[in-house]
Structure 1
Amino acid sequence: MTYGAANLNDDGTGPKSTLASTVYHQLRDDLLGGALEAESKLRVEWVVAKYGAGASPVREALNRLASEGLLGRHDQRGFFIMPVSATELEELTRTRCWLEERALRESIAHRTTDWEEQLVLALHRLGRASRHSPQNLLSLDPDWEKLHRTFHRVLISACRSHWLVGFCDQLSDHAYRYRQMATDGEGIQRDDFGEHRRIAEYALDGNADGAVQALIDHYQLTASICMERFKQGEVSKPAASVERARR
């Protein structure tokens, strides 16, 4: 992407802020999608060259990503991409189940007709989409991922706490990173839509215990598949071109 010259403002609303936000979203997508190698040093100069922005908005974007836990920071030595591990995945999954159980129970307790309609629509759209990319059956389809995120967001949207929804969103981002780095392989069978339908049916029936258990089972199954990839050494490797980030 090419950026034209602009006067930079310091009020957080001018071109500088826009550039930083653009770099933030592009780099964040690459981090979550596994396009950059974990534990690599992320040099400002490399990010400037790759994403087409100046050093100042790049540093702003890097600091923002570090505050979200997607990047680490060494004093006086710059940024690095946070590593992935089976231990981290286990803790992430456990914490996500804790928070989303509370969010889902609250959402069901305060459900409305509008919430029910949104959930039915989200499930319907998810069911009509293909989980895997037509070009590569071992890759997840980006459009399916968007619908998947929408379904899970709608589930907890009636919990009446934007703080709780925000924390759940952050954990979902980190979980997505793991799922992208551990693609499905042969011999692993699951009824993915059936899992989502079960969660929705319990939720729509007002059965909080059933919905929570179905949700936890769904997350734990996904985590177990990722764990197998770690054990088998099949965690996806990024493209060789990103090796420049280390230099």
Structure 2
Amino acid sequence: MDTVARTIANDVYEQLRHDIISCRMLPGSKINIQALVQKYEVSLGAVREALSKLSAEGLVDARAQRGYTVSDVSPEDLAELTDARVRIEQECLKLAIEKGGLEWETDIVAALHRLSHTPYTMPDDPAVLDQRWVKAHREFHRALVSACGNRWLLRIRGQLYDQSERYRQLSVPLARAERDVAQEHRNIADAVIARDVARACAAIASHMWTTTQIVTTGLT
């Protein structure tokens, strides 16, 4: 595949990945390849390459003779995903607290400030996350572990974060009780900057499992 074709395939991959993670393409939905070819005005090969990459990431299911579907969600999958996330996130936090300096602390404070002043949901639809908040939220959690220093741990953490994003998008309309997400983030940041490893690990675990409980209740 030449450079131009590879670039086109990557553009399709990035757009599809964004649509899947943001739940614009719903979990379990069938993917119409011809419709994607027409939508993006690209070749069949470009779409198939993009879907192959997404399948390798676990965001798309490929089945012989049945085509592609967006990977489904389930309480069982979410429980395993959250367990893995908590373990990796806590390890990254421990290393970041050990190695992080003043610049790292400053980045956390700045990211928290930005997140705290970004609308959580869309003004015209409180059941939908504001994508500006989604971006600020990602940056806050990235800042927390940015001083970790272990590229492999951070890479795995990033993959797990992306997988969990679909569930986070679903948690807002499924929530049946008021949740103070902003306070949860302040608790995490305070513990991390105070270099309190035990409190930081407990706060991040509570934060993640709260989302899991909301989604699990809504899915069952």
By the TM > 0.5 criterion, same fold? yes
Deviation at 1:46, TM superposition (A): 2.3
The correspondence of residues 26-175 of structure 1 with structure 2, limited to 5 A, is 26-75=15-64, 77-175=66-164
Q: Which runs of 5+ in 2 are unaligned?
A: none
Give distance in 1, aligned partners of 2:64 and 2:210.
38
| Selected match of 2:5 from 16, 23, 27 | 16
Give distance in 2, aligned partners of 1:110 and 1:125.
24
Q: Percent identity?
A: 36
The correspondence of residues 170-209 of structure 1 with structure 2, limited to 5 A, is 170-184=159-173, 187-209=176-198
Give distance in 1, aligned partners of 2:50 and 2:147.
31
Give distance in 2, aligned partners of 1:52 and 1:182.
34
| TM-score (normalizing by structure 1) | 0.84
Give distance in 2, aligned partners of 1:141 and 1:215.
22
Matched, 1:25 2:14: yes
Give distance in 2, aligned partners of 1:134 and 1:51.
30
Q: Which residue of 2 aligns with 1:243?
A: none
Q: Deviations over 1:74-116 (max 9, x none)?
A: 2354322111111111111111001111111111111111111
* Structure 1 or 2: more helix by fraction: 2
| 2:31–2:70 contact (8 Å) kept in structure 1 | yes
Q: Which residue of 2 aligns with 1:218?
A: 207
| 1:132–1:139 contact (8 Å) kept in structure 2 | yes
Give distance in 1, aligned partners of 2:176 and 2:26.
27
Q: Deviations over 1:179-235 (max 9, x none)?
A: 21342457411211111111111111111111010000000111111112112xxxx
Deviation at 1:47, TM superposition (A): 1.8
Deviation at 1:145, TM superposition (A): 0.5
Q: Deviations over 1:110-137 (max 9, x none)?
A: 1111111111100110111111111211
1:159 partner SS = coil
Superposition misfits of 4+ residues, deviation over 4 angstroms: none
The structure number with the bigger radius of gyration is 1
Deviation at 1:20, TM superposition (A): 0.9
Q: What is the number of equivalent residue pairs in this alignment?
A: 220
Give distance in 2, aligned partners of 1:213 and 1:64.
35
RMSD value over aligned CA atoms?
1.5
Deviation at 1:50, TM superposition (A): 2.4
